[in-house]
Amino acid sequence: MTYAVTVDTSQPEGAPDLDELQRAGAAHLLREGLDAIEAIEGEDGEVVEIIDHLVGVHPGGALLKVFVEAPSLEDAEGAVESVVGEVLERTELLAAWTIDKCEVELHLDSAAESLAAADGPEAPAADPSTRAVAHPTARSLEENTPGRGGQEREEMRAKLRALAPLLAGVSASTLGHLTAEDLEDGKEVDEDFNVSAEDVALAAGAMYFSIDILIDEIFQDLDTLGDSPSAAQCDGGLMQLEGLPGQFMHLYTPLFARKLLVTAASLTGRMSGPGFGQLSCVAEELLLRLWLETTEATLDLYGLLTPGTAEALGSLRENVYEDLDHEWLYGPAMDGIDQDPTAAHLGIAPMAVKDWFTPFNQSRSVHPYATDGE
């Protein structure tokens, strides 16, 4: 059976936060170490095969998701903890890091399917409370999901609060937290329609935290593409490229992915620095969409995607996007808008994939690599 094992690692207590370059280096070392191990044999001779892995590094450590084929949940957790521990131990720069958590996240459907297939006197009871009595280490799905437990959720909450100021290009008002000074007419702020400072901090911190995930996954998409002519002809599963308009998969070439990567680095860098202005091109509009979806997934993973944090991200969408023309690319009813010569007369930016990296006007700039011709 295939299991997704989540591993939370951290630096030694008191160590300074990793900067951007250090995080990139740590992500590379972790991926390289995991790539070198295809399978591990347990104490009883059972073999656990490593299928795939995802690595996201934040200032205080790393969050890994390792997909394995294993005889049982316990085998999966034990093997992955052993593998990650070995990778850390063998990597000089990471040798002092610790594993804070290593556990399988069960999906409700998969768990139900496994229980339905189980048979015989040793099969676990169908009722969760009965299983808990019989097996004290069993936990409910809610407790077994990162962020559902109070301690881990609060630790992540504190981490996101600390990261929030680093998203310096996004103001609190952009995320929906308005004070009386923000209102030109001087009216009092309606508390029922004002995002709290706490929710704004969590949303901003989650956006900053998700930068590594977004860029790492585009890197992984590039690696998965390999020598494939395009995403449509790629055998492996893609991550961020899959979130782009599906009708153009045949045009997402390795060169396109590289342009997307440098544009992502440019956009996230600008929004992390003071003085962020406007989105520069269609590619940045699409990337912000992917970034916000990744942020929502991060918050949800830790049980922090609440109506307040969702509203904060929604406010950012409303304030940063000048229009939602790029959303038309996702609608089947708008198939062909990218090639429609009359679109410009309707005030719509050029939507052909080849134009996605073209600045909207002379006052906007795009990374030089992304503007190079084919």
* Amino acid 331: pLDDT: 67
DSSP 183-237: -TT-PPP-GGGS--HHHHHHHHHHHHHHHHHHHHHHHHHHHHHTT-SSGGG--SP
Name 7's bridge partners: 64, 102
pLDDT at residue 256 in the model: 95
CB 73 within 8 A of CB 104: yes
Mark 116-130 as b/e (b = at least 16 C-beta within 10 Å): eeeeeeeeeeeeeee
Q: What single-letter DSSP state applies at residue 252? A: -
Per-residue pLDDT of the chain (374 residues; tens, 9 = 90+): 777 788 889 999 888 888 877 887 888 889 888 888 888 876 667 788 888 777 877 788 888 888 888 888 888 888 899 999 999 999 988 999 999 988 875 443 333 444 444 444 444 443 333 333 333 322 333 343 444 457 888 999 999 999 999 999 999 999 998 866 666 555 455 555 588 999 999 999 999 999 999 999 999 899 999 889 999 998 878 889 999 998 899 999 999 999 999 999 999 999 998 878 899 999 999 999 999 999 999 998 888 999 999 999 999 999 999 887 788 787 654 445 445 444 443 344 556 888 899 998 888 888 888 886 54
Could you read off the pLDDT of 311-369 as tens digits, one per residue? 999 999 999 998 877 887 876 544 454 454 444 433 445 568 888 999 988 888 888 88
Domains and CATH numbers, the chain: 2-105 (3.30.70.3190), 156-371 (no CATH)
pLDDT of amino acid 244: 92
- Site of tokens 């006007």: 361
98-103 contact pairs (CB < 8 A, 24+): 98/9, 98/10, 98/12, 99/7, 99/8, 99/9, 100/8, 100/9, 100/10, 100/61, 101/6, 101/7, 101/8, 101/146, 101/152, 102/5, 102/6, 102/7, 102/8, 102/77, 103/5, 103/6, 103/77, 103/144
Q: What is the pLDDT of residue 204?
A: 96
pLDDT value for 119? 43
Reduce the DSSP state of residue 272 to 3 states and report it.
coil
Distance CA 180, CA 75 (A): 57
What is the spatial distance between Cα 68 and Cα 78, in angstroms, rounded to a whole number?
11
Helix (H) or strand (E) holding 350: none
Closest CA to 316 of 186, 207, 213, 189: 207
pLDDT tens digits, residue range 98-124? 999 888 754 433 334 444 444 444 444
